[in-house]
Amino acid sequence: MGLLRWIKSQFICHLLICYVFLVSGLVVNLLQICTLPLWPVHKQLARKINCRLGYCISSQMVALLEWWSGTECTLYTDPESYRLYGKENAIVILNHNFEIDFLCGWTFCDRFGVLGTSKVMAKKELAFVPLIGWMWYFQEIVFCKRKWEEDRRTVARSLQNLQDYPEDFWFLLFCEGTRFTEKKHQISMQVAETKGLPKLRHHLLPRTKGFCVTVQNLRGKVTAVYDSTLNFRNNETPTLRGVLNGKKYHADLYVRRIPLDSIPEDEAECAAWLHRLYQEKDKFQEQYMQTGHFPGPVKSPPCRPWALINWLFWASLLLYPFFILAVQLFYAGSTPTIVATIAVCIGASVAVRWMIGQTEIDRGSSYGNRKSTRKKTD
């Protein structure tokens, strides 16, 4: 086990994993572009194809967490709700405290068969980024500029487009808008005091407008909200770098199913409902920190093999010619060619480390670092 852990921590392994992810992602993006002529002819077929193509990219991240890192996930939920997961459209509310909480959300989706159809609300700039951004564009992800005066119409239009979506989907929301840090928490609680709202210990104030417009425009299509609260055992703070190094974590996820019909339609009442929900989420986190577990029965949904099979397919397809080319290069290549290749590898290693570094909490978005009196703070 020690040898395997050492192998997983070696940078050459990380470079090969990233090589497979990057090249396969670009191939998938190209295939997605090829579906453009199909959209005006058979929109629903184009959607189904793009769900499968998107899964080829996102499931590699799930395979990294489940099969490479070996991270386990325990689900706390009631049996009646458990039977409905993956069989209905839902809005999933996630807390935003960890570097890999998005990855745990994807894993949750994959274990119930909706990873390829899952949706999120993301920054507009990401639509222009290859791999994930382009994948999201073809999967009809909702993009916003974080300027609510401009976003309201475009977000509502994007959500309305999902009314005729042909497959079950989950819409994942980080209602806090940005990842939790102590600095952002202090500022958020100052806003809470100004507005007369109860203070939270383990969350930022939720941004209610995005949630309310999501609920308003998905009524009739979505049947429930899944309130999800994530934590990790032994007070661990997992990182993507740790996952890439093969470090095993144990995630605990508490999920409550709330029928969408029970959420008020009025925007002000809906906002108040969301604030009450986050006060409850805060109590669940407090209980976890005191007892080491969430309330309710425990379920352990099994890992599905498809994420691993997908990664093995792309690795087999891409690594063999890569190794053949590398051998031929070092046996027959000229000195300048070999030097150039080494330089490219060094550059790639720097790029990979930079990409990983961008997921770290202290390198995250500055959104929420300034106390704002503008309307968008809601």
pLDDT mean for each 10 residues of the chain (378 residues): 84 86 93 97 97 96 95 94 96 92 93 95 85 92 82 91 96 91 93 93 93 95 97 92 92 96 95 96 95 91 94 94 76 70 66 55 52 45
> Residue 265's pLDDT is what?
93
Distances (CA, A) of 294 to 79, 105, 224, 273, 359: 15, 17, 21, 22, 27
Tell me phi and psi for residue 237, to 5 degrees. Answer: -115, 90
- pLDDT for the residue 129: 82
pLDDT of the residue at 30: 97
User: Which pLDDT score, from 0 to 100, does residue 202 have?
Assistant: 94
Q: Of 277, 274, 155, 282, nearest to 208 (Cα)?
A: 274
Topology given in CATH for the domain delimited by 3-306+357-363: Glycerol-3-phosphate (1)-acyltransferase (3.40.1130)
Q: How many other C-beta atoms can be found within 10 angstroms of the C-beta atom of residue 37?
A: 9
pLDDT at position 361 is 43
The answer to whether 121 and 155 have CB atoms below 8 angstroms apart is yes
pLDDT of residue 375: 42
